């Protein structure tokens, strides 16, 4: 009788193990949806902060976009004639020394010049002249895409 009891309990325990080993076929997507909504809100808040910090009203042209692999060096000239390297205001005489200190590829570094549409043409040309005299040949003028009317 002792042998029958142990066989009976062994058979029951194997059967209960099979029931526990079945895979649950339903996936709870609620945590995933919660994470996605939080990420969406974070990106909606962070996206406007990723633009260049100097407010400039760029002129419009029909030129095509330039492909870029990394963040370029940007010189901005606002409507008051103030010159900015990235987001820092600099004097006209400091442009070349600061670019030489920052440029990783030396004179082969790509430099974008952003000029406000109201800025004096002479101011933009003074900046371009300093860049040219320093040997920078990969200089691009940044504009907005022209709106078709």
Distances (CA, A) of 18 to 4, 7, 71: 22, 17, 58
Say what the pLDDT of residue 60 is. Answer: 65
Q: Does CATH place domain 60-145 in 3.30.420.270? A: yes
Instruction: Give the residue extent of every domain in the chain.
Output: 60-145
Sequence-ordered list of residues with C-beta below 8 angstroms from that of 87, at least 6 positions apart, any chain: 52, 53, 54
Question: How confident is the model over 43-53, as pLDDT tens digits?
Answer: 888 776 665 56
Question: How confident is the model over 17-35, as pLDDT tens digits?
Answer: 555 666 777 888 888 999 9
- What pTM does this model have? 0.53
DSSP H or E run through 31: helix 30-46
């Amino acid at each position: 009788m002792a042998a029958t009891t142990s066989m009976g309990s062994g058979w029951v325990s194997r059967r209960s193990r099979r029931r526990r080993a079945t895979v649950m076929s339903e996936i709870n997507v609620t945590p995933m949806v919660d994470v996605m909504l939080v990420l969406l809100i974070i990106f909606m808040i962070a996206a406007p902060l990723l633009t260049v910090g100097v407010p400039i009203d760029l002129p419009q042209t029909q030129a095509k976009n330039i492909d870029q692999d990394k963040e370029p060096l940007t010189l901005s000239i606002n409507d008051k004639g103030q010159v900015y390297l990235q987001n820092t205001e600099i004097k006209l005489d400091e442009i070349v020394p600061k670019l030489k200190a920052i440029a990783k590829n030396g004179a082969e570094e790509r430099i974008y010049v952003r000029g406000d549409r109201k800025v004096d043409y002479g101011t933009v040309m003074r900046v371009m002249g300093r860049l040219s005299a320093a040997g920078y040949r990969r200089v691009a003028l940044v504009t907005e895409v022209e709106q078709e009317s």
